[in-house]
């Protein structure tokens, strides 16, 4: 009879207090451990061990956690795998603590795949952002997002597959082992992926359906978010020479709400109001243009009245690209006379793009001609055509592209007019400029907290983050 051991690993490293406080990252290490252990038990796991680095006098380890030894994480997991075999466990789950909110149903799918004969199995989510390769700070080719999945937890292995996989990883890394010392560029996701591919041998790493609640929390911790500091570039930016275009002309069908998600309540106002206020408060920004559906005109004007700043309304097109072109044509005279020399295009469904990030993108666009924020996503992996298997393809660092995306105004407008004339539809603003403006955008590293409201879970997370001070406004200076 099969028996399962789950190892809950630190994932993104030691838990750190918020700057200036003794508070741990929400909901706290001990709470995260309790949530993870409960979900694993509810899914039918027989034994759970928790390995947490970062103990000591300043941070006593939570109850139920075993501190990592002096060796590497690879060595610790190998030792635990051997102990699992001695204890009669033939299946092992590697579960990251920053994925503590993974529901039991997701864990159960991994166990089912192992029971059905897969040597390795992992849950994964579809990717909704545009994904590009990046090199030397410049965005490269866009990756077909239907071939990419965001890997979650837990990674499930048979005992034999885990031993073979980690032994291979260990031998390749020689003396540079573990999350910290094996290779500074080797993330936990990459470590698990390499072990999974090696452990599966000639078999297939099975991919099962993930759930939004199982996405990682590590990058959402305030300690990580507050460390984000945008470089505004040399000198003071030209006051009011940039225009901000906020897109709210979509239907948001994936969210499932009866109204456009831009008008849903969020932290005492609406999703849309956060973006409008952010750009209206920036000294670099002059006109703020809101692109809407015609049927949303009345509710949009109500939001603008609450914002308390001038906002120009433009009726959008049936497509995102058409809506962007409508806004650019609306700004045409000011682009021609030079009073607008930079345009930032932002998705209203990203209400947590903070002022520092917006200013960094505008500054980089002024220096390089175009700039796009994006977050490195080491958990992204290439899958088979039917999405049920993980491929060993290595595409290099992948960035999930965000907004606002900013470009010099004339270049942007000309690229969009050419694209319209040739019937080209890009995946985002940067792809249109790359194809018809000949410019690859500069990459501005961005926090994962600049999330896009796609599912109901995203709205709850955005509410939580806003109430903890993420995405706050920086006034005019």
The mean predicted confidence, pLDDT, of the chain is: 82
Contact assessment for residue 466 and residue 444, using Cβ atoms and an 8 Å cutoff: no
Last residue of a domain, one of 191, 223, 255: 223
213 and 235 part of one domain: no
Beta bridge partner(s), residue 120: 157, 205
Helix axes 104-115, 29-42, angle to 10 degrees: 50
Say how far apart CA 390 and CA 383 lie, in whole Å: 4
Which pLDDT value is given to residue 73? 61
Tell whether 475 is covered by a domain: no
Same domain, 334 and 214: no
Per the DSSP assignment, residues forming a β-bridge with 124 are: 151, 209
Task: Judge if 282 and 394 occupy the same domain.
Answer: yes
Tokens of 448: 């994962």
pLDDT value at position 371?
A: 98
Determine whether 219 is exposed, middle or buried from the number of CB atoms within 10 Å of its CB (0-12, 13-18, 19+).
middle
Residue 243 lies in a domain: yes
The pLDDT assigned to 13 comes to 42
* Rounded-to-integer distance, Cα 395 and Cα 32, Å: 33
In a domain, 141, yes or no: no
Is the four-CA dihedral 113, 114, 119, 123 of positive or negative sign?
positive
Range in 148-152, 380-384, 394-398 with the lowest mean pLDDT: 394-398
109 and 187 share one domain: yes
Q: Is residue 130 part of a domain?
A: no
**Would the pLDDT of 402 be above 70?**
yes
**Domain end position, chosen among 204, 223, 242:** 223
Residue 266 has pLDDT above 60, yes or no: yes
pLDDT at 406: 98
161, 247: one domain: no
How far is 40 from 46, CA to CA, in rounded Å?
9
Average pLDDT over residues 40-67: 71
Split at pLDDT 50, 70, 90, the class of 21 is: very low
Q: How many domains does the chain have?
A: 2
In a domain, 438, yes or no: yes
pLDDT in tens, 332-357: 999 999 999 999 999 999 999 999 99
- Percent of the chain at pLDDT above 70? 76
What pLDDT, on the 0 to 100 scale, is given for residue 80? Answer: 67
Q: From start to end of 154-193, where are the E strands?
A: 155-158
**pLDDT for the residue numbered 307:** 93
Whether residues 177 and 236 fall in one domain: no
One domain, residues 342 and 461: yes
Q: Which of 275, 145, 233 is nearest to 442 (CA)?
A: 233
Q: Residue 472: its pLDDT value, please?
A: 54
Q: What pLDDT score was predicted for residue 380?
A: 87
477 in a domain, yes or no? Answer: no
User: Euclidean distance between the first and final Cα of the chain, in Å?
Assistant: 68
Residues of the chain above pLDDT 90, percent: 47
CATH number, domain of 196, equals 3.90.550.10
Question: Between residues 11 and 340, which one has the greater pLDDT?
Answer: 340
* pLDDT value, residue 476: 33
User: Do residues 10 and 53 lie in contact, with contact meaning Cβ atoms separated by under 8 Å?
Assistant: yes
Q: Is the pLDDT of residue 227 over 50?
A: no
pLDDT at residue 259 above 60? yes
Are 194 and 300 found together in one domain?
Answer: no
Residue 425 belongs to some domain of the structure: yes
Residue after which a domain boundary falls, among 223, 238, 261: 223
Least confident of 96-100, 113-117, 469-473: 469-473
Asked, for residue 474, whether it belongs to a domain, the answer is: no
Q: What are phi and psi of 33, to 5 degrees?
A: -60, -45
Provide the residue range defining the domain that includes 337: 228-467
């Amino acid at each position: 009879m099969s028996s399962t051991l789950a190892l809950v690993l630190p994932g993104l490293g030691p838990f750190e207090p918020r700057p200036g406080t003794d508070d741990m990252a929400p909901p706290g290490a001990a709470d995260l451990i309790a949530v993870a252990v409960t979900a694993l038990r509810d899914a039918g796991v027989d034994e759970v061990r928790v390995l947490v680095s970062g103990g000591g006098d300043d941070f006593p380890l939570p109850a139920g956690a075993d501190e990592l030894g002096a060796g590497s994480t690879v060595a610790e997991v190998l030792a635990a795998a051997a102990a699992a075999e001695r204890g009669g466990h033939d299946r092992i789950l590697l579960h990251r603590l920053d994925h503590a909110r993974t529901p039991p149903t997701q864990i159960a799918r991994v166990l089912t795949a192992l029971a059905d004969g897969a040597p390795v199995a992992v849950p994964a989510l579809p990717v909704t952002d545009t994904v590009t390769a990046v090199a030397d700070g410049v965005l490269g080719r866009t990756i077909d997002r239907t071939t990419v999945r965001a890997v979650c937890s837990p990674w499930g292995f048979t005992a034999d597959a885990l031993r073979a996989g980690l032994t291979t990883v260990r031998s390749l890394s020689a003396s540079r082992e573990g999350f910290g010392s094996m290779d500074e560029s080797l993330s936990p996701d990459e470590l698990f992926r390499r072990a999974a591919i090696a452990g599966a041998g000639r078999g297939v790493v099975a991919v099962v359906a993930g759930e939004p609640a199982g996405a990682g929390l590590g990058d959402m911790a305030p300690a990580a978010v507050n460390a984000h500091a945008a470089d505004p570039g040399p000198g003071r930016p030209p006051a009011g020479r940039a225009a901000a275009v906020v897109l709210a002309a979509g239907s948001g069908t994936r969210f499932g709400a009866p109204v456009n998600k831009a008008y849903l309540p969020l932290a005492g106002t609406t999703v849309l109001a956060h973006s409008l206020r952010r750009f209206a408060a920036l000294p670099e920004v002059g006109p703020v243009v809101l692109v809407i559906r015609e049927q949303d005109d009345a509710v949009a004007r109500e939001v603008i009245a609450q914002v308390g700043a001038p906002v120009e309304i433009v009726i959008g097109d049936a497509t995102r690209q058409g809506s962007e072109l409508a806004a650019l044509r609306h700004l045409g005279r000011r682009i021609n006379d030079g009073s607008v020399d930079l345009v930032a295009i932002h998705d209203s469904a990203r209400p947590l793009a903070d002022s520092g990030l917006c200013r960094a993108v505008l500054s980089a666009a002024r220096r390089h001609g175009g700039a796009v924020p994006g977050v490195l996503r080491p958990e992204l992996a290439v899958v088979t055509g039917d999405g049920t298997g993980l491929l060993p393809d290595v595409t290099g660092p992948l960035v999930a592209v965000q907004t606002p995306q900013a470009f010099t105004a004339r270049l942007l407008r000309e690229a969009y007019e050419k694209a319209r004339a040739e019937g080209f539809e890009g995946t985002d603003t940067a792809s249109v400029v790359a194809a018809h403006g000949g410019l690859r955008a500069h990459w501005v590293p961005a926090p994962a907290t600049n999330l896009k409201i796609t599912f109901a879970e995203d709205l709850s997370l955005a509410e939580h983050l806003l109430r903890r001070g993420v995405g706050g406004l920086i006034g005019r200076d």
